[in-house]
Every structure is written in C-alpha cells, then in structure tokens.
Amino acid sequence: MPRNETQRQAPAQLMTIPQVIEALQLGRTRVWELVASGELPSVRIGRSVRVDAEDLERWIADRKVAS
C-alpha cells in the first residue's frame, strides 16, 4: 500500500551515550570508539550525539553468534 502523505512515521527514539553504555554494559571509552569509527551508527545534533534505538537493536542483532 502506498504511503499516504498525511501518514507520518513515528519519530525515532534517540538514546544518549550513557543510555547506550548501560544497554550494552560496555565502558564509556569503548562506546565512544564504536561511535567515532562509525561502526555504531549515530546522529549528531549540535554538540550532542545520539544513537537511534532501532539502529542499536540492528547492530546487536548483526553481532549475534549462532550457538
């Protein structure tokens, strides 16, 4: 079904770096390395850096190891 002009996509839930650190249980430095390298997608809004919650979920899913 084509998307109607009046329909709008729900805004992305953007997480702060401290929230990402908590969610991943990684150190501050490691999370900043992932963001700086572009390995973990992020959005810069002025001086703030945010990570889209869906991008984080996708990033985690891409790294799952089959057991």
Query: 5-17 pLDDT, tens per residue?
Result: 556 666 679 999 9
For the chain, the structural domain boundaries read 14-62
Tell me which residue of 31, 13, 11, 12 sits closest to 21, measured CA to CA. 31
Per-residue pLDDT tens over the stretch 19-66: 999 999 999 999 999 999 999 999 999 999 999 999 999 999 999 987
What is the pTM for the complete model shown?
A: 0.78
pLDDT of residue 67: 72
pLDDT of residue 1: 52
- C-alpha 14/C-alpha 60 separation (Å) is 16
Q: In this model, does residue 4 exceed pLDDT 60?
A: no
Q: According to the CATH classification, is domain 14-62 in 1.10.10?
A: yes
